[in-house]
Structure formats: structure tokens, C-alpha cells
Structure 1
Amino acid sequence: MRKVKVGFISPYEAMMPLIDELAIGQEDLQITRAVGNLEAGVALALEMERNGADVLISRGGTARMIREAVSLPVVEIHISGYDLLRSIMLAEGHSNELKALIGFPNITMGAASIVSLLELRLEVVELSSAAEVESVLKHLKERGVKQVLGDVVTIDAAAKLGLNGLLIQSGRETLLEAFEEARRLFLYAEKNQQQLRALELLLDVWHKDVVILTEDGELLFERYAAFRHQPISSTELLELQKQLSSSNVSSLVKLYVDSAAAFYVKGEVLEDRSGLFTAWSFEQISVNNQNAALTLAQPAQLPLIVSESPEMKKVRQMIESEDASRQPVLIIGENSTGKQTLAEYLHVFRNRSGLLLTVEMDEFEQLPAFNLPEQSTIVLAYGKLPDLETIKQTEKLLQSLGRGDVHFIALLPAYDEKVADALGSSIQVQVPAMRERQEDIPYLVNQFLTEYHQQLGTQPVRLREEAMAILSKHNWPGNLEEMKSYVKKIAVAEKSYVIEKQTITSLPFEQTSGVVEPSFYLDPQHSLKEIERFIIEQVLKEENYNQTQAAKRLGINRATLWRKLKD
């Protein structure tokens, strides 16, 4: 084992010979010593730290000042009973003149006991601050005190007033004890450093990016592997810590997604003997070009589900049941019946704090190389009944992401036994088509009308009863997408606050087969986003609202199409 590098700062010159004498027997210590009191001692300590010292030793106020200035362990030499007795007896033998010992409570308490026990003629004066030294000495001089015992500061001040000073020096026993304490502190610090280095190596092996903050938000530890630096600002991290501390949960997850990359932050509250602190980990996620079939989201609010019809009331009852939170769920229904919205609803309804990952299984090719946080939901979306290869991919994905507290939901156009077997025991939820839930149509129409009023500034806010009756009797073969598209068309066409029957009859419903003529024109006032939406809706109509086929024609993946339809 290497020698411990000890920096010894003595506040007075007379200690140096004793240090040199005792250093000879300390074979495991490499001792560098210097003389410096208070600020001068701090400057020496900083230089020793720069030169690689492991532990510093000093005495009294100098040691306390050094401890505030350096990051190394500092041993403070305490004045022992032997030191006091030796100094008091030396002073007693000088003369019969009045004498006084001045110091802080750590010195005066022991000194008072010695003086009382030996019945010595020595006044003991206790200081509460260093600023009192000069005034106390002046008062003692006026009372006839000729000799003063104390530390370096006291003796220097006494000399300026013409008083004799006797320095209370540290003896052999005290210095040997300081050397032993230096060894203990070094071994303790070295063990902590080894643990810290092991933790850093482990984080590198695990490829983890971690930040630890104290309860007050002070940075305690940081280590980055995938990121070059902290991927969010310190202000934002402190805001997340505030959210976590003010909530009743022990962890928090926040998703960050932009055009270049995606990652999530997970914070956890931890506690040890020194109090609370928060640990934050950052996990990179590849969900863009490399994994076009993946869509990550973190829904915070329950999506609106219209459930006035008996069929939808049954659906809602099933997805809100306890069984639906404990077992995988199969949500079965035609295209554009709201299966994805129901999956989001189930995730938020159960207060799952993790992320919502949707995997388009028709396009899925590569297993994701990332870990999802606890309480995440994975949605397996099948645009068509899966073939054998897709089932194999499903099984691989379940093995890869099925660890921990993860909930699986499968979206299917019809029941598939192979998917059900892969998921194991599951709950089946059959979502009705629009023709099977006509009681919901007025509420859905008004919901879409409100959305377009908010998003596009369209004029109408409601429909006449006879106009709504026409919409309620329509079968809506394209389900929700067809309805949204048609409501948008009549909302844009109507210039008054109420949509009349004449507006409905003048704008026929879309054809579901054959060639469909374009139902929009390029208005110079339309934004690029509106034109893009018109094109997407037109292609959907031509593909009979089959999102998988529409996505292929548009040259985008189904997940991107779904996001654009939600915007």
C-alpha cells in the first residue's frame, strides 16, 4: 500500500522540531510540514492540496479555516489535559505575579478544573469570539495581570500590550493521536473513493447517465455515458425535482421528443441518514428513422370517450375494470373505431406513470435497444391479421420488453388466436363500428365541431335537429375518420352559427367504392398543414379509411399517419 501523504500546518514555529522527531517513526506516512497561522495557514493548505496531499493536520482556528477552504479531510489537533497541565505548571513556576489563561470553552473548561483541583492562583477567562481578545487583555492588564496563557492569536495580542505570553503548546501524545486520526480518515476516504470509482465503472458498463441532487437541489454526483452532458437544463431539472418532491409518489418520468432524438428522464426519491435526495437517470430512445414503427407518448389527460350507446357503455365498463389493469387486453374492431384512443384511456385511467409505446406490427422489423421505465404500456397495433412471421416478431418483442411492470394492449381488426396465445391470459374488448352505436353520433359530431371551431376558427357551433337526424341515420362505413372528415367539410362550408339541413343535403357523403373525385381545392389562404391534412383525408377516403394502405400511398409509416391525424 502506498504511503499516506500528510500535510502538516503548524500555527507556531516551536512545534516543528517535535513534528520532525515523531515523523521518523511514521513509516507509512509521507509528511510535509510548514508554519502558518490562520490565513497564511490556509494558503499553505491549498498549495499542499494542489501537490497531492491526502490528509491535512493543523490546530485550532487555523484547522477550522482550512476545513472550509479545501476538499481534503482535515485533522484538528485538540489541546489535551496533558497540554494544559504542562503549560499551567510552567507558568506557575515563573513568579507570584498575577496570571490569566484565556481561551474558548474547549480550553477553559479543562483549565478551570485543573486550577480548582490544584488550588492554583490563576484566573481562567472564557472567550465567546476572537473579537473579544484585545478588550479582555486590556481589562486584565488594568487589573494588574502580568502574564497570559493562550493560543497564538492571544499571545501575539498580549505582546502588543506589553504583557508576557506563554503559548499553550501541543505535546507528543497529541501529535501522535493526530497522526493516527490522519490514517483513519485516509482509509475511510480511500474506501469511499473506491466505492465511487466502482459505481462510475458500473454505470459505464451499464451505459447509464445519472445525476444525483441533494434535497436543496445541489449537485451531488453526475456521470454520463450516452450523453456528453446533462441533456436538459439545470433549471428544468430543478423544476422536475420540485414536482417530484411536492407529489405523493416516489418516482417521476418525463418524455422528451424532438426531430433529432428522444429520451426520457426518470427521477426517484431516496433517503439516507443525511436526509432526502433525488436520483435522475436519462435513457436515450431511438424512435425515428431507425424505428419507424415505434411511437412514444406520455399522455397525461384522459382522452374523451363518448359512451351514450349501450355498446360503448359496455366497452368503457370493461376497460375500467380491475381485470383490464392486471391482464393484457385485446381491443378488437374495424379500422378507425377508436382503438388507439381506448388504449390511451386505459393507460391514463390506471395512473400509470411510465410511457405509452405503440408498435405498428405490420411494419415492425427491429427490436428496440432501450429500456422502458416501470409502469409503461406497450400497444401492439395490427392493421391486419398477422402472418406467422409477425407472430414470431410479437413473441420476440414480448420477451424483450415484457420485463417488470409493463402492461400490454393489442389492437386487432378481428380476434386472432395466435396473438391471444402469445399474450397469455387476456381480456377481450370488442369496439363497435359507428353503425352499431348511433346513440353516440350526435355527441361525436358536436365534439368534432368544437375541435374544428378551436383549431380552424370555423363559424358553426351546433346543428339543427333535422340536420343532425340525417347524420345519425348514416351508416358511416369509414367510421370515425369518415365522420371527422365530413364534419370538417360542413363546418368549413357553413358560414352561420348553426348548420342547416340544406348544408347537409348539398354536401353528399363520400363514396366508399370506385373512383372518388377530389373533394377539396387549394385555397391560397390555407396553411401548409391544412393542405397536408386535406391530402391525407382524400387518400384515406380513396382507400376506404384503411390507414395501413393510406400510409403506404403517402410514403409514411402508419404511426406517423396516426400522429398527423391527431394534430
Structure 2
Amino acid sequence: MKTKVLLIAPYRGLRELSLTLLKEQPELDVIVKEADLSASIPLIQYYEQQHIDFIISRGGTAKLIQQYSQIPVIEIKVSGYDIIRALTLIKDYKMKVQLIGFPNICEGVLSIAQLLDIQIAYTTIDQEEEVNNAVLEAKNAGAQVILGDTVTVRTAQENGLQGMMITSGKESVLEAFHQVLDMAKVLEQKRNQLSIFQSLLSNYQDGIAIMDENGEFIYCNQAFSSFFGKVQGDLMQSRFDLPLEVNQFLQRLIQLEEQTYVPNEIINFKHLTTTINGGRFKRAGKYFFYVTIHKKPLDKEMESGIQILRNHLFPTSFAQIVTSSPHMMDVLEKAKKLAELEKNIIIYGEEGTGKRFIAHSIHTASDLMEGDFIEIEINDSTTANISRIVHLIDHLDRATIYLKGVEYLSLENQHVIDEMANNTSRVRFIFAFNQHPNMLIKNNILHKNFIRKMEVEALFIPPLRERMEDLEELIRIFIAKYNAKYGKQIVGVRQEVLKELYLKDWSYKNVTELKDTIKEFVKMTYSDFIEKEQVKLMGLRENEKKSFVNTIDLTKPLDEIEKEIIAQVLEEENMNQSQAAKRLGINRTTLWRKLKG
């Protein structure tokens, strides 16, 4: 299918040249018209209804068309060849020559004139209405020849002066044709992608909608409309009354400022209990909001201490893991070999070391890569009910299950998980722990037979402080990541900043902590480098932590020291008992018992 183009030539010669060159452009269906500046507007308004893909024009006419049309405009540039030809023609003129033109014309001519050591007076204009005054001023200043584009030359002639046009040559017109063909290919790819995305969203089982800054819906899929007993067109054509619970969520979403995401919230309407989440994003200088309503009703297990995510991560691979640490290289080599086997795996290491990333890389490098990657995180032993996990696994075929927090289950439920891991085919279990499993067994947190009965391989991920060779490369990666997110152009960190980062032990959340730190630095930095001033905030936080630790009286009895440590960790975790229990390496029931004791 040919690309349909409207070419508007500001002067007759360009029209004739274009018609000649089009004989060698079989992929283009081009309508060629002659019109300059404002005379081109009626043509645009007419041909916009004829399904034109691109418009080609030149100079000020091209700039004007861009203001009046949504169709992509390709400008026939005034090339260096065009300018050299014009300057060569006038260099021996005895008459006084003055250049009058739009900025794009003047800048090119003056740059080459300077290189050729040709002195030429000039006047820059921004609008068609300025041309006549500019020509009259040039005439009063003694100019006899006006060099410029179509409207300039015509106005000069009307005022009794000689006009010389900088014409576009064959090279410039062919370049515009080639640019159209290149853009047509990209546009076709984007249209195909858009068609795929629209089809995907239309058939997606969860309801998805997008709103503008005013809270008006600009898109929704059929599932979203169906939640409220509507067809898709009803939502797009007019606002309809949503349930109060949904409207309240949407109102909070629109009022987002610093936060860009609202996590899952439970809503009830029409005797249905489900979850809703949403967020904010920026496009072309405007904010938009998206909202997702999950189709599957929320049952008691979903409200419990178990979170299940299916294919939550973008595809990852071992090639994305940055390291020059010999220790970490050994880990990756072992992980690659484990990916080729069908054995279950235990990955252990401190919080934030990258256990989940490596687990996902194992999945994508294995024979199970076409199946699901399912994350199961158990946060609370007092409410966790594993019937939902059992039901999920019973219906799986070819999948990797990344299970974190199995130590928070009762020993009886741990045994159920153990049995499933041993007897489920075509499903690989990857268990994640923040401590060595033997330590959890010793503390009676993990069942003593959990590992012994299972055919499992263990993989230890070292903390960041043991792979500091990777620090600078990780910093560069995180700077690049957050440059893109926050529109910054930071190129690095100062040496004194780097020194401070090397001195920190990163024991709180390791690589995750480093990533969060760099994120904050990027947000606070408005120069090319992250400066030492940004480190001061981090330094203050570290000092606060250390001063708190120093207040613990180690001369007290052991049980009192234990209580003080628990109190400190709880405070650092904003009184979140589940997170505090994780930090302390105990389950929540044990933590609660120690607090009560």
C-alpha cells in the first residue's frame, strides 16, 4: 500500500522539480500543489479529509502548516548545496544584497557565508506580516537585491527591488521523500503495536480505564464497563454514575501529588468484594490517571497474610546482572547451571541482595520460561491460610514458583508445602530466605525436615558490602534509570560522594538500599553531578541510627536487652510487626510473645 502525501510547493520551480523526481518514487502516492504561506491553509483543510499520511513543504510554509494540521509535516530543508549555489551566484554582485528570511533560512545562510568570507546584511522575520516592513527598511538602507524565499522575493519585486530566491535542489527534495518513507515504516510499526495493545486491553479480564486531568474517561476496556452493567461506548460518550466506593477511590487518585501509585484497596459494591488500584503518569506535559479493577472477587485467603503475583516482573536475564565481583560471578555461574536442571532451589541472602531478580533470571533461562513466574510472599503466620496456594499449584502446568516467607507458616503448613514441592511435576519451586536455612531450623522457625526431604540446591547471594567492586557500576545504572524517570541529565557523582558511598555498609537493604539512595540523590540534584550536599541527608540518617544503637545498655539482663532491640527495630519499621519480625529473623507469633512477655 502506497504512502499518501500532500506536497505543497511555495513556488513553481519546486512544483516542477518534485513532479519530475516523483517518477522514481513508486512507493509514494503524492498530490503536488503550489501555494505559499497562508494560501496553503485551505488546501490543508480540504486534503485532511482525504486520509493524507504526510505533508511535505518548505520554509515558512512548512512551519505555518504545522500550526494548522495534525498530520506530520516533513520540511524540505534548505541544504548546504542550495545555500552555496545562491552565495556563489551573488558573491561578485556589484549591487548591495540583503538577506531577509525566517530563522531557519537566515541561520544556514549566515553560517556558510561566514565560512566563505562573504559579508551579507540580513533581517530575520518570524511571521509573514513582517516581510513588507523588512523589505522597505532594507530598501531605505540602500539594498538593491533581496535574497530570501518565495514571499520575500515577491514582496521585493512589488517594491521595485530585485529578488533572488534560495531554491531547493534535487538533493533536498529527495531527502524529504526518503524521510517520508522512513517515517511511514515507523508509523506502520506503531499502528500495528497500537492495534495489538488495543486488542490485548479489550480482551483483558480485569477492568482498565484511563482518565485525563479533569477526571474524564478517555479510555476503558469492555471489562471495566461490564463491572457497572454498561457497554464500552456508554462510558466513552458520557460520564455515568459509579458506585460511591469507586468514585471515592477515583477522587483520591486525581488528587495524587508526590505519590504516583495507589496500591490495592478492597472495595465492596453490588455484593461483590474485589480490589482496585491505580496510578498517575505524565505524557506530553499532561497528567493522566489509570485505574484497574480486578475481575476475580476477593476471598478470605486474599485478605490474609499471603500475597500472590503472577508474571509481575518484566523479563530479566543473567546478562542484566552487573558484577565484576569474583564471588558474585561464581553465584551467577552456579545459577546458570541450576537453570538447566529441574531441581528446586533455595536462594538465601540478606534483604535487598537481588534474590528475586536472580530467581526470575533462572526462570527465563530454563525450559519453563514459556510458563508463568509466580511470586508468593507470606507476611503473617497468624492469618496465613495456604489453601489458596494449594489450589493455585494444583492447576499449574510449566511454571516457576518463587516463594518467600515459608518460615512464617506453621510447621504443619510447612510440611504441606514440602510435600507439594516434592510431588509436583513441571513446576519448579524457588524458596527465598533472608537467613541461612540451617539457622532458621536451629531457631525452630523452619521445620527440620524441610530441606532434608527435598531434592533442592542452595544458592547464597552475597550482601553488597562483600561485592563493593560492583558499587560504581550499580550507581551508573541507577543514575541512568532515574535520569529517564525524572528527566535529569546527571552524568555521575563527585569523588567525595563516591567515597561516602564506599564507607557505608548497606546492611539495611543492600542493593535495594543503594538504588533508593541514588533515586533520592537524582531527585534532589539539578546539576550535572551529584554533589556532597546531597550526602548530608544520608549522613544525618546514619548518625541518628547509630546514636539510637549507642543508647542500648549492654549491662542489663539479656531479656531486657532483647526487648530494647525489638523496640528499636519496631520503631525503625514504623511499628510494622511483620517487617520487624523479618528483620529479627523470627516469626510474628514469636515477636508477639516476646512483646507480651
Q: Taking structure 2 as the reference length, what is the TM-score of the superposition?
A: 0.45
Select the structure of larger CA radius of gyration.
1
